[in-house]
Chain A
Amino acid sequence: MTVSRRRFLTLAGGAAVGGAVAGSVAWSRLVEDTVSSAAAGPIHPDRVLVVVEMSGGNDGLNTLVPLDGRYRDLRSTLAVAEADLLALAGEPAYALHPSLAPLAAHWDARQMAALAGIGLEGQSRSHFQATDTWSRGTAQRVLTGWLGRWLDATAEGDAASNPLRALALGGRSTTLLAEQSVSTYVRDPSGFVIDPLPGRDAEALIAALLATAEPLSSDPLTAAVQASLPSTVEATRLLNEAVGGRAGELEQLGQGRGAYGQASALLSVAADVLDLGVGTQVVVVGITGFDTHDGQGPRQEALLADVAQGVDGFLQAMQDQGRADRCLVVTTSEFGRRVVPNASGGTDHGNASVQFALGPGVRGGVVGGTDLVGLVDGDLPVVVDTRSLYAVALDWLGGPTDDVLGGTYDRFDLLTA
């Protein structure tokens, strides 16, 4: 990839006028009780965090299966067949869904941790309330996401105006909503190029578009619309090289659930963006389809296979780029699912689930646990707070973790350094 650091700084300087807006509501009035954070420079500016957001509520119980007779009784027809389960070295109590086979090597290398029984207390079973609370990562009523607050808390110098410091690929992510920091959202990587009149002078037209944005209006909404242009223009110029020439997502429409917005395709874009070396520290990959109220077996099988291939491929690409030791990948999903299946061969909304952290900096193994005895209203109980996963991720980036989360959460000693 050919964007030099020097060129990047020039471009990013042009984006500074954009201020807060590419990621969206940052300009607006925030906030009761915004978490205040002393701006501390990141201790690990070369580290990268990748969050795979599995929207819809992934069924953790069939993802990391407890080797417990009660599982088979409760899950009945939806239980993963015993012969298909992937045994985990050194782990007598759990096995993996067979679709996660590409991750087995990471487990064996002790670089994959499972947080079992993870979730948030006091949730309803609403997708939207749960997604909202997971995104905020604090009980306080803020409009920012947990990663958006980290971006704000650590934005200094070049980083503050770098539209590619944080990138959302696929689904829109509210975890990146910040007060000041710009982030870039790419829905369809193949179409992330501004060329409104092909064959004409694109630079001249983009210059005209940029002229709508300067100076910023005193009306905040107008200013927000104006400001969305410059940072987007810079992001497209940088990203174009990483994402050009891929098949459009539109091709996949109608190919069935799960074939749409593939994690593996988006993570491969993420790897290429990191290869550009333009200061990207956070990538959020948003995929959907996990709301498996019906026909869960084959649907989850395809979804987990996509995630596993994507994560494994990403970590291998990082190794090829010589960045393996700088990357942490974590998964999130707004809730788990009910233990007992419904009549449609699926499961309804539940509570605690399983999430993973992977990378050379991770101390492998299972923490927490899947408790099939202490069910609460038919749901698995929460034994690990979601914020523990966030604390590990933010520690990886260098913090300030507790400020961002508004509290201190158990890290379960999941990072080796």
Chain B
Amino acid sequence: MTDRETIAWLTRRVGFGPAPGELDELEALGVDGALDRLLAPAGSAPTPDDLWADLTLHSEESGERRRYALAAITRWIEALAATATPLPESMAWFWHGHLVTSILEVPYPILLARQINLFRQRGLGSFVDLLAATTVDPAMLLYLDGAGSTAEAPNENYGREMLELFALGIGNYGEGDVQAAARALTGYRIERTTGEPYVVPRAHDGGAQTLLGVEGVRDVAGVVDAVTGHGACAGFVARSVIAHLLGPEVDDALTDRLTEAFAAGGLELAPLVRSCLEAGVDGAAQPVVSGPTPWLVGALRATGAAVEARTMLEGLFAAGQLPWVPPNVGGWPGHTAWLTSATTVGRANLAGAVARGTPEDAPVLVAAAAGDHDALADHLGRPEGFGPMTRTALGEAARVGGRPGDAVLATALCAPEVVIR
């Protein structure tokens, strides 16, 4: 791989691919310099602090809620595409798919917005802190029924999904652990005027629980300590981060090495992310099929296109990946699950919308209109260029009528070279 190809790969995995001119800037720094630059935002907060500062708690009617929710989702997509700090923003996207919440079961858009802000601010810190904050996050308390769970009849939903999907993985806990976690987490409510969580002491089971072999667990801190102290936690979380950054089938030796370092470092995420990317630069990366949202964000970023919100959201919905609307608490199945007919249709229509919305003078559209396939690929973050089938297809697309470059750009965005990140 050339340095430019390696750097392009980094921009696709650190974030969603390059903005116009970004590859040139990063290439001037060399691969190591580019990696440092891309990682620099790690630990520093993304801006603005709150992407949804204008949202309020009460937007009463369901029609209004829908309008606010769709506007908030749109804003997130546009912010992901425009960001100057791709790493914390893309890690927030990653955590949204790992520590899952759906707007369909959270009546207030502002609560989901606050959760995404939490992921943006703390998604590269310590997993221990992140899990603790997520456990009492109001959107999560509503989604997995922690709000309203009482000592008399604890609701197991969060306890079970946290152990299975967020922190340990199946086979690493028993039914008794699910119930112990549920009991220790009873008593939470959401305050109506602020949307903040609080504990009702009489609804909280203050008894000492034994969770994963740890005795005396009585509250959130105890639960999080027991769970993150379990031997399976580092490997479970590391595998998810590794799959996100490097691909779904990284070899065991590398996974073990990264897991050991992650465990030894107290589950700090930033060093794990850096190690993954360094391993990727050294050749450990695998091709991954992009989900519709990362793919769209990358296309918006590379083209500078303006796409009408409704078109964007309908396309993502049809493709099967509308942000804030995951299919279930397990998040979106990834990789080859994005080769279904539903995704293919949604992606093709979104590709056209992006092409139509691309400014006349955008370098990517100029290259498409001129039939300069190498420049087109480079602008889309693929300096290695297109293969022969895609080149033939782009030639055919050039004969479709309309604004010059539109059909070529739309076809390029659907090409395997672009769909595979």
Chain A residues with a Cβ under 8 A of chain B: 21-25, 27-28, 55-56, 124-129, 163, 171-172, 184-188, 191-201, 204-205, 207-215, 217, 221-222, 224-226, 228-229, 231-232, 235-236, 248-250, 253-257, 260, 288, 291, 293-294, 340-344, 346, 348-349, 377
Contact = CB atoms under 8 A, between A and B. Distances in A.
Main SS class of interface, B: helix
A152 to B, nearest CB: 17
B335 to A, nearest CB: 8
A388 B157 CA distance: 30
A196 B389 contact: no
Nearest to B417: A222
Interface string B380-421: 000000010110111011011110001100110011100110
A212 B66 contact: no
Nearest to A253: B66
A342 B416 contact: no
Contacts of A249: 317
A125 B149 contact: no
Interface in B103-130: 103-105
Contact of B339 (A22, A214, A340): A22
Interface in B142-200: 144-145, 148-150, 152-157, 160, 164-165, 170, 175, 178
B63 interface: yes
A200 B407 contact: yes
A125 B160 contact: yes
Contacts, number: 234
Contacts of A25: 336-337, 339
B105 A172 contact: no
The bracket for how many chain B residues form the interface is 35 or more
A144 to B, nearest CB: 14
A201 B402 CA distance: 9
Interface of B: 62-63, 65-66, 69-70, 103-105, 144-145, 148-150, 152-157, 160, 164-165, 170, 175, 178, 287, 289, 313-315, 317-320, 325, 327-330, 333, 336-337, 339-346, 348-349, 351-353, 355-356, 387, 389-390, 392-394, 396-397, 399-402, 406-407, 410-411, 414-416, 419-420
A187 B155 contact: no
Contacts of B400: 197, 200-201, 204-205, 208
B401 A200 contact: yes
A191 B345 contact: yes
Given A225-B289, A232-B341, A256-B62, A342 B149 contact: yes
Contacts of A222: 387, 416, 420
B340 A24 contact: yes
B317 A196 contact: no
A167 to B, nearest CB: 9
A195 B349 contact: yes
A23 B327 CA distance: 17
Given A212-B414, A225-B419, A22 B389 contact: no
15 contacts: A24-B336, A172-B333, A186-B341, A196-B410, A198-B352, A200-B407, A205-B407, A209-B414, A222-B387, A231-B341, A236-B341, A253-B66, A341-B153, A344-B153, A348-B155
Contacts of A224: 336, 339
Contact of B397 (A22, A208, A232): A208
Identify which of A25, A197, A231, A377 gathers the most chain B CB atoms within 10 Å of its CB.
A197
A208 B113 CA distance: 40
Given A208-B411, A222-B420, 15 more contacts: A126-B164, A127-B328, A128-B165, A171-B327, A172-B337, A196-B348, A200-B402, A205-B407, A208-B394, A211-B389, A211-B393, A217-B416, A248-B317, A342-B149, A344-B145
A207 B348 CA distance: 13
